[in-house]
Amino acid sequence: MILAGLFLLALSPTDEADAANLAYVQCLFATSRAASAARLSVDAFEQKLAGSCRSEQRALERVEPANLHGLDEAARQQVVETYRRALELEPELRKFDEMCRAHPGGCRE
């Protein structure tokens, strides 16, 4: 997937590239977690993400300009899609949680 590709981006094994790559991916996930905690809609999250993590993205572009090939923006879109899917699954997960609380013997950890 795209985010996994970003982790593998640092074809030249430099600490700077690794650090920039990690900072960018961590920022994307932190923005997603904060939006989830704030219960943002997908549209609101997408708008928030559009303005987030730009300094991390620029740092990554400075150390790995030839290897990005649009993966940075694709990673943003993947984070939005993952966020959308999590919101879609939330009602089902809530029902499952309620069922497990009512019948703990039927659910295994």
Task: List, for residues 31-88, the tens digit of each pLDDT value.
Answer: 999 999 999 999 999 999 999 999 999 998 888 776 666 777 888 999 999 999 999 9
pLDDT at 7 over 70: no
Report yes or no on 29 lying in a domain: yes
Q: How many domains, in total, are found in the chain? A: 1
Confidence of residue 10 (pLDDT cuts 50, 70, 90): very low
Report yes or no on 19 lying in a domain: yes
Report yes or no on 88 lying in a domain: no
Confidence of residue 21 (pLDDT cuts 50, 70, 90): confident
> What is the DSSP track for 12-54?
S--HHHHHHHHHHHHHHHHHHHHHHHTT--HHHHHHHHHTSSH
pLDDT of residue 11: 47
Report yes or no on 106 lying in a domain: no
- Tokens 């920039």 correspond to what residue? 20
Rounded Cα gap, residues 107 and 96, in angstroms:
9
Report yes or no on 92 lying in a domain: no
What's the domain range around 10? 2-83
